[in-house]
Structure 1
Amino acid sequence: MQIQEVYSLFLKQGIRQYKFKNSKIKPIDYKPDGKKGAIFGFRSKEKMAAGRGVVLTSEEAILDNLDGFTHWTPNVYSFGTYADKEKSIVKGHAENNLKQINTFLIDIDVPEGESLSERQIIDCCINSDFGFLPTMILKSPGGYQIYFVLENAWYISNKDNYGSIRIAKRISENLRIFFGKSLPVDFSCNHFGIARIPRTDNVVLYQPHFVYPMQQWIDWSMTFAPAKPKRKNSAGLRVLKGKLRGQVDEPWVKILLNRKEISGTKGVIGRNNALFTLALAHYASGISYQECYDFLDEFNSFQLASPLSEKEYTRTIKSAYSGKYQAASRVVIRRLVTNWT
């Protein structure tokens, strides 16, 4: 395993290959890179917790510190800077600054006194209908970290209210749920933040050809999601027979759930009102907040061409379940159906 190739596979040209200044290995005839992003490196878990790190803008800079970092951000940010004059506190590794997502990560925390092998992790993948094998498995002091590197970078744009992040986050959540059924997964760590960095002394498995296109992950996530406890009356799913439970089983719900083009067009009752009205129908039908949140989150993230941001989506669902409203308004329902069908 060539560690330089590992970094190139992970970072997918998101940062420069060589230092912009003072490079020791850049070829004389090398043409300068265009605008690139930044990642962050940390020399210990304690320094990481304190935010004391290094802004890295080239693969060469990582190699200059070979095995000197314990943690990094494998997904690339638009920029990185320092919050203090001494340039020791890093700033910029926030979700809304993500430039591209390169990998999904599963963090395995093995409880004290218990054991787990990389073979068990592989068995978890192959003894099921999962269909993916890890690109890399790292051994950490408390367990393992499993990397699934994308075939191509998944670029982030704020033009769609960061909908690309929401799609990736839903896939990451489903991955954690899948592995959490048989492995001690840490569900609390950031989906696309800081992780253990591959070094010459911690890689237990590396298969560079096990990289997958984002669309394959989206297809898997949409297939896997219905396996979670969900209401079974939605677009593309069977309609419950027998007595209706309330508004949630009325025809207009299925109609709206099939309209991926619903957007936040100015002056037109649209995306926010559609999600709010659908949530009210769930509330009026006695469906729990969490079940409604998860179900409509998939509709918002995967089906809407222009989804709500996570913050706005959460605010909308909470408002519907605030107790201030009894059910979805018939006037609003008619306007939504008229506008979008």
Structure 2
Amino acid sequence: MQSPKKAIELIINNGILKYKRVGSLASLPHLYKENKSVTSKKGAIGLVTSKEDLSTPSGVKGYVVTSLETLLEDVSLVSHWNPNVFNYIRYSDEKRRFLKGHEEKNLQQINTFVVDIDTKKQLYTEILTAALDHSVGVPTLVLETPKGFQVYFVLEKPLFISNQNDFRGLKVAKRISENIKQSLAKVLQGVDVSCNDFGFFRMPNEDNIRWFSEEMVYDFGSLIAWSKRQDDDKGRGLFVVADESSEHDPTQTAWFQELLKTRHVKGQSGQFGRDNLMFTLALACYSAGKGKGETLDLLDEYNSGLVAPLRHSEVEKIVRSAYKGRFKGAHQDYIQELLNEWGNNKEIVIENPMGGWYKFKKERKDRKRSHYDEWEEDLLQFIQEKTSLDQPINWTTQRELCEAVGIPRSSFNVLIQQSKKILIKRIGQGRTAKTGITSVAVLLQCALSYQQTHRVRYKEALQVMTSERLNERIVQDLIEDVEWFLEKRLSEPIIGKNFNSS
């Protein structure tokens, strides 16, 4: 069981009073100190005791709470709440049973985005990995509901809503909420994309919390940049709140413009070349919040002007790699190296480097084979179908594996060498040879499971896969990811580096 107190305090984010105005159990010194420290307007939230109360003929049946003290006292008594604070909530009847005022334009502050998932066909650990790989990142809170899960992405600082510019801030927040839901709907079952963005959701309690990390909170500006990239891919615009200053846009800096002017750049072994330079430009576009399509157009035009251009497919791969979100932006040291190598020997101050990536990929060779991304997805789907938390490794022959997925053996071997998501173990030779295969996602789900047996399977599988030299880098990354997850949340840590222990 998890205490919901920290989660609720984090979500509310000082949007309501800390103590009751009347009948508080806090000491007088605490009340006096709190009253003196209140400098901003405090709002209200609504609570209901059952799901049925949300849709009665007379409206939402519930009661109003204006203090954190009351909210924490009543956690075990209620089923739903509105985690985003309203300016006020009032009663619509004389008996004070039904609520009014919980309308979007009456929002005081937005504290969190919530995704409702109406199925349990996937584990909560699958939701974590899906959010990490395909959406904004690991959620702050995951609650289990009778029919599924509710996933909270909490803001580091609340977004205060005003009626300025026709509620522009609210429109931006709604678009972000929509994009988060749609990004998860692409990879998870049961995501309710039509759910009210800022309505009532399940109340966190001791029995329904499956994941909570108070470190996983989100900067609203970063969410705007992420959402802009999603909208760019869909060919639509976002109601953007303009940046206060262009100096926060790395694509407007002198170093970016200088690199963009280079035409003689090429690549060779041991040299920072075309791939490195274009990857740096792509990272700068990513950190500036530019869409993937806009960045591809920019780099395609740049590539066309090079004395020795890359293939268009290689430019596409560079942009995809930069937009995976593993790096925040171009690193100052590498920007300087590129300027030294290919610049015009000008003295250029590197303004506002985002930091975040520390090595360049080696120069790529032109490849004759294609469709590796598609085959990798097919293979990952096969692994997901053939494995489970109890049996995370699927053992078969390489011939049967290739036939099941529909991939030529030669392409399979190349894919295994390239993939950072698939782990393989070969045992024996000839007719007796067996191939064991699993994925990072499957092992991560085992490691994060609350059942000790699944954690044991994770250790055993890791032990098997570590003995294959091909997997060394992938396994080390997995161990670091597991350690990071467990440090943030789980109370019974299993550290990947100790997988040889019982």
Match of residue 156, structure 1, among 158, 161, 175: 161
Residue by residue, what CA displacement relative to the aligned partner does 1:151-174 show, whole Å, maximum 9, x if unpaired?
000010112211000000000011
Q: Is the 8 A contact 1:136 1:205 kept in 2?
A: yes
User: Within 2, Cα distance between the matches of 1:230 and 1:83?
Assistant: 40
Aligned partner letter, 1:171 = I
Residue by residue, what CA displacement relative to the aligned partner does 1:186-213 show, whole Å, maximum 9, x if unpaired?
1221101111111111000000100011
User: Within 1, Cα distance between the matches of 2:132 and 2:158?
Assistant: 25
Sequence identity (%): 35
Q: Is the 8 A contact 1:18 1:26 kept in 2?
A: no
2:80 maps to 1:77: no
Partner residue in 2 for 1:255 = none
User: Within 1, Cα distance between the matches of 2:15 and 2:81?
Assistant: 14
The alignment partner of 2:77 has SS state of coil
Partner residue in 1 for 2:99 = 90
2:212 maps to 1:206: yes
Q: Is the 8 A contact 1:37 1:76 kept in 2?
A: yes
The alignment partner of 2:175 has SS state of helix
2:75 maps to 1:66: yes
Q: Is the 8 A contact 2:145 2:208 kept in 1?
A: yes
Aligned partner letter, 1:170 = R
Match of residue 134, structure 1, among 114, 135, 139: 139
RCO greater where, 1 or 2, for CA within 8 Å and sep 6 or more? Answer: 1
Higher helix proportion:
2
Report matched runs for 1:40-189 at 5 Å.
40-50=46-56, 51-110=60-119, 115-128=121-134, 130-183=135-188, 184-189=190-195
The alignment partner of 1:148 has SS state of strand
The alignment partner of 1:127 has SS state of helix
How much has 1:229 moved relative to structure 2? 5.4
Could you tell me which runs of 5 or more consecutive residues in structure 2 were left unpaired when the two chains were aligned: 238-290, 299-502
Q: Is the 8 A contact 2:114 2:153 kept in 1?
A: yes
Could you tell me which runs of 5 or more consecutive residues in structure 1 were left unpaired when the two chains were aligned: 240-341
Aligned partner letter, 1:126 = L
2:26 maps to 1:30: no
Partner residue in 2 for 1:294 = none
Residue by residue, what CA displacement relative to the aligned partner does 1:37-92 show, whole Å, maximum 9, x if unpaired?
00111100011222101111001111221211110000000011101111100111
The alignment partner of 2:116 has SS state of strand
User: Within 2, Cα distance between the matches of 1:56 and 1:37?
Assistant: 9
User: For the aligned residues, what is the CA RMSD?
Assistant: 2.4
User: Within 2, Cα distance between the matches of 1:72 and 1:149?
Assistant: 15
The alignment partner of 1:216 has SS state of helix
Aligned partner letter, 2:82 = T
Aligned partner letter, 1:156 = I
User: Within 2, Cα distance between the matches of 1:235 and 1:156?
Assistant: 30
Larger Rg: 2
User: Within 1, Cα distance between the matches of 2:27 and 2:90?
Assistant: 24
